[in-house]
Amino acid sequence: PEENVFSYNGVLYPVVLCSPETFEALESFEARSDDVLLAGYPKSGSNWILQILNDLVTADLKKNKEALEERVKYEEKGDYAFFEFGDPGKFERIKKLPFRRVLATHLLPGCLPTSVFKNNAKILMLTRNPKDVAVSYFHFSNGMPLLPSFKTWDEFFSAFMCGEVVWGSYFDYMIEWNKHINNKNIMCTTYEELKENLILGVKKITEFFEFSLTEEELQAVVDRSSFQAMKENSHRTHGTFGNILFRKGAIGDWKTLFTETQNQEMERKFEECLAETKLGVKIKYKEYCK
Ligand code: A3P
C-alpha cells in the first residue's frame, strides 16, 4: 500500500490533506439552512464552481457591509472550504460566521454530517463525464506530489475503473448521489452544461440559492471565471499547484489517452451502473463520450 494515503470507511484519502480526526469532527458539524454547499467527485470542476459560488456570495453581501468585512477577513485566513481538508478544529472556527458559508466536498452523501440533510442545507451537485474525469485525474495525480502517482495511463485507468483511487469509485459516487436526486434542496449541474452556456448555468445557480445580483454583477462573476482568467490568476489563488489544476479546461480530452479497449470497458461499466439512473441520463454520456 502507498504511504501517502490512508483508508477511512473503505475509501482512500491523501494523508497530507485529510485525517481521521477531521472526519470524526465533521460528524458533529452543524450545517445551516443558508449554507452554500458544493458536492462533486474530484476533477469535475469543483475549483471553478467554488470560485463562482464565492463570488456570488460576495456580490450578494454588498448590502451588508459588516458581514462583507467579516467575510474578507475570513478569506484571508484561508480556512479550507472542503469539509474533508484541514484540521479538526476548523469546524469550531466556522461555526458562527455571520454570512453564508460556502463549503465543498468530494465525499459520498453518506459521509456527510446528518445535519446537512436535516437542516435543509442546499447542495449544488456537480458532475462530469467519466472519461474526461479519468484523464484529468490521471494528469492531476501525477502532477501533485501529495497524491499517489501512476507509472502509466493504463495503470491509472485500471485503478480508476475499480475505485482504487483517492476518494474512491466514480461509479459508486454517482450511484450514491443519484439516490438523492429528487431532493428539492439538491440541484444537479454538469461541467459540460456550464462550459457550453455559463451565464445560463450561473443564473440557475443564483436562483437555486436565492442570491440577488444585478445583470452586471452576474456578468462580472462569469467573466472572472473563464478558464483563461482563472489560469492566469492561479499562482495567487492556488500557488504552485495552479498550473496542474488549470490544465486544459476542455470537453473531450479523453480522446488523447483512451484506447479502443478502454473505451469499450467504460461503455460497459456505464451501461451497467449508470445508464438507467437519472444522474446517468443527466450527464449526457452518449453526447460527450462518443
Ligand atoms: P482538466 O484537467 O480536464 O483541464 P477540480 O477543480 O474538480 O479538480 O477539476 C479540475 C478540472 O476543471 C480541470 O480539468 C480544470 O482544467 C478544469 N477547470 C478549472 N477551472 C476551469 C474553468 N474556469 N473553466 C473550465 N474548466 C476549468
Model confidence at 1: pLDDT above 80: no
What's the rounded Cα separation, in Å, for the pair 173 and 170?
Answer: 5
Looking from the CA of residue 40, the nearest atom of ligand 1 is 7
What's the rounded Cα separation, in Å, for the pair 45 and 106?
Answer: 11
- Report the DSSP pairing between strands 36-40 and 122-127: parallel
State the distance between the two ends of the chain, measured CA to CA, in whole angstroms.
35
What's the rounded Cα separation, in Å, for the pair 116 and 32?
Answer: 7
Helix (H, G, I), strand (E, B) or coil at 264: helix
Over residues 231-259, the mean pLDDT reads 94
Helix (H, G, I), strand (E, B) or coil at 222: helix
In this predicted model, what pLDDT tens digit does every residue of 114-131 receive, in sequence order?
A: 999 999 999 999 999 999
Over residues 20-41, the mean pLDDT reads 97
Looking from the CA of residue 132, the nearest atom of ligand 1 is 3
Query: Is the CB of 211 inside a 6 Å radius of any atom of ligand 1?
Result: no
Rg (CA), the chain: 19
Q: Burial, 33: exposed, middle or buried (Cβ in 10 Å; 0-12, 13-18, 19+)? A: exposed
Q: Which of 144, 147, 246, 254 to mutate to test ligand 1, by most ligand atoms within 8 A of the CB atom?
A: 246
Nearest to 154 by CA among 130, 174, 178, 138: 138
Cell 454520456, residue? 285
Give nearest CA residue, ligand 1 atom 17.
Answer: 249
Q: Which of 135, 192, 245 to mutate to test ligand 1, by most ligand atoms within 8 A of the CB atom?
A: 245
The answer to whether 71 and 61 are in contact (CB under 8 A) is yes
At 284 the pLDDT is: 95
Active site residue 180: no
**Cα(180) to centroid of ligand 1, in Å?**
25
Give nearest CA residue, ligand 1 atom 24.
Answer: 227
Quote the ipTM score: 0.99
Over residues 10-25, the mean pLDDT reads 95
Q: Burial, 28: exposed, middle or buried (Cβ in 10 Å; 0-12, 13-18, 19+)? A: exposed
Model confidence at 192: pLDDT above 70: yes
At 266 the pLDDT is: 98
Query: Is the CB of 44 inside a 6 Å radius of any atom of ligand 1?
Result: yes
Looking from the CA of residue 126, the nearest atom of ligand 1 is 7
Give nearest CA residue, ligand 1 atom 18.
Answer: 249
Taking residue 57's Cβ as centre, other Cβ atoms within 10 Å add up to 19
In this predicted model, what pLDDT tens digit does every residue of 40-57 receive, in sequence order?
A: 999 999 999 999 999 999
In this predicted model, what pLDDT tens digit does every residue of 65-108 receive, in sequence order?
A: 999 998 988 887 778 899 999 999 999 999 989 999 999 999 99
Q: Please provide the average confidence, as pLDDT, over all residues in the chain.
A: 95
Say which DSSP state 61 is in: G
At 79 the pLDDT is: 80
Looking from the CA of residue 248, the nearest atom of ligand 1 is 4
At 273 the pLDDT is: 96
Say which DSSP state 101 is in: P
At 78 the pLDDT is: 75
